[in-house]
């Protein structure tokens, strides 16, 4: 009986001939989706490049207001989460459920740590009066273009944080499914494609970190 259920669970969806075709389609679908994500962030990176060129002194000034330590720790946290995610995928491929659960949980946890630190950073910018718009109280040099810098900072890191939040939700969903024994060495496509998504979020941060914190 249990065997029949397992076999049924692993039948391909009706539009596919077999599980291989289904897995390849899912992986390709995620890659194409990641391309759209690159283009979404790409628009913002273009704006950043143009304004950095137009208002170089203000962007140098902006980098001085970044919490470098918090940013560096966060970078390490995200890179560690990519490592745990890769380990989770590898455990899934080998059908090791306990390992999969452990690495998925640590991935989600590292994501939450990142968001916590990011929130702390946002709060410190708020305290300094560096939130553009009505809350802007900073009166130093380059106030206009500096607002544009911080607008971009909040837009780009904010969009990144939204993606990370979605990622944590997805990984949590994987944990629920893994606890219900939905994944085996033969079928673990969701772990693989959500892993791809998670790595892309990390890669985007790896670009955001030097652009806002380091170069000046």
Partner 1 sequence: MIVATVALERPHEETYLSVGTTARSWLLTTDHKRIGILYMVSITLMFLVGGVAATFMRITLLSPGGGVVAMETYNKLFTIHGVIMVWFFLIPSIPSVLGNFVLPMMLGARDVAFPRLNLASWYIFVAGSLFLLWTVVTGGVDTGWTFYTPYSTQYATSHVVSTTLGVFIVGFSSILTGLNFIVTTHRMRAPGLTWFRLPLFVWSLYATSLILVLATPVLGITLILVTLERWLGIGIFDPALGGDPLLFQHLFWFYSHPAVYIMILPGMGVISELIPTFSRKRLFGYTFVAGASIAIAVLGFLVWGHHMFTAGMSTHAALVFSMLSYLVAIPSAIKVFNWTATLYRGAVSFETPMLYAIGFIGLFTTGGMTGLFLASLAVDVHVTDTYFVIAHFHYIMVGGMVTAYMGGLHYWWPKISGRMYPENLGRLAAMTIFLGFNLTFFPQYILGYLGMPRRYAGYPPEFHVLNVLSTAGASILAVGYALPLAYLLWSLRYGERASANPWGGTTLEWTTSSPPPEHNFAHTPIVTHGPYDYVRGPQGDQRG
- Shortest distance (Å) from residue 8 CB to partner 1: 19
Q: Is 207 in the site for partner 1 (CB under 8 A)?
A: no
- Shortest distance (Å) from residue 23 CB to partner 1: 10
Q: Is 68 in the site for partner 1 (CB under 8 A)?
A: no
Residues 6+ positions from 61 with CB-CB distance below 8 Å = 140, 141, 142, 146, 149
For partner 1, which stretch binds (CB under 8 A), given 23-31, 67-75, 118-126, 199-207? 23-31
- Shortest distance (Å) from residue 36 CB to partner 1: 5
Give CA–CA dist 70/124, Å, rounded.
11
- Shortest distance (Å) from residue 64 CB to partner 1: 18
Phi-psi region of 140 (alpha: psi -120 to 50; beta: other; left: phi over 0): beta
Contact 148, 101 (CB under 8 A): no
Q: Is 121 in the site for partner 1 (CB under 8 A)?
A: no
- Shortest distance (Å) from residue 197 CB to partner 1: 14
Question: Which of 3, 43, 64, 127 is in the footprint of partner 1 by CB under 8 A?
Answer: 43
- Shortest distance (Å) from residue 143 CB to partner 1: 9
- Shortest distance (Å) from residue 141 CB to partner 1: 13
Question: Which of 10, 42, 140, 181 is in the footprint of partner 1 by CB under 8 A?
Answer: 42
Binding residues for partner 1, total number by CB under 8 A: 38
Q: How many CA atoms lie within 13 A of 61 on its CB side?
A: 18
Site map for partner 1, 138-177, x if CB under 8 A? ------xx-xx--xx--x---x------------------
Q: How far is CA 66 from CA 5, 143, 203, 211, 212, in A?
A: 54, 16, 20, 11, 7
Q: Is 137 in the site for partner 1 (CB under 8 A)?
A: no
Residues forming contacts to partner 1 in the complex (CB under 8 A) are 13-15, 17, 21, 24-25, 28-29, 32-33, 35-37, 39-44, 46-47, 50-51, 54-55, 58, 132-134, 144-145, 147-148, 151-152, 155, 159
């Amino acid at each position: 009986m249990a065997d029949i259920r397992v076999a049924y669970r692993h039948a391909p969806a009706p539009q596919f001939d077999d599980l291989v075709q289904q897995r390849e389609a899912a992986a390709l679908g995620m890659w194409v989706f990641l391309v759209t994500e690159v283009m979404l962030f790409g628009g913002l990176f273009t704006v950043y490049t143009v304004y950095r060129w137009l208002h170089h002194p203000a962007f140098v000034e902006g980098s001085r207001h970044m919490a470098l330590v918090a940013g560096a720790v966060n970078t390490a946290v995200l890179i560690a989460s990519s490592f745990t995610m890769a380990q989770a995928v590898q455990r899934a491929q080998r059908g090791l459920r306990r390992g999969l659960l452990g690495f998925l949980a640590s991935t989600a946890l590292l994501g939450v740590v990142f968001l916590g630190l990011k929130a702390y950073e946002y709060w410190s910018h708020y305290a300094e009066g560096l939130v553009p718009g009505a809350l802007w109280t900073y009166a130093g040099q380059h106030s206009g273009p500096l607002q544009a810098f911080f607008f971009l900072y909040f837009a780009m890191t904010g969009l990144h944080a939204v993606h990370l939040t979605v990622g944590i939700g997805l990984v949590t969903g994987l944990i629920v499914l893994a606890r219900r024994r939905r994944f085996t060495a033969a079928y673990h496509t969701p772990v693989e494609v959500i892993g791809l998504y998670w790595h892309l979020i990390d890669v985007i941060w790896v670009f955001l970190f030097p652009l806002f914190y380091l170069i000046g």
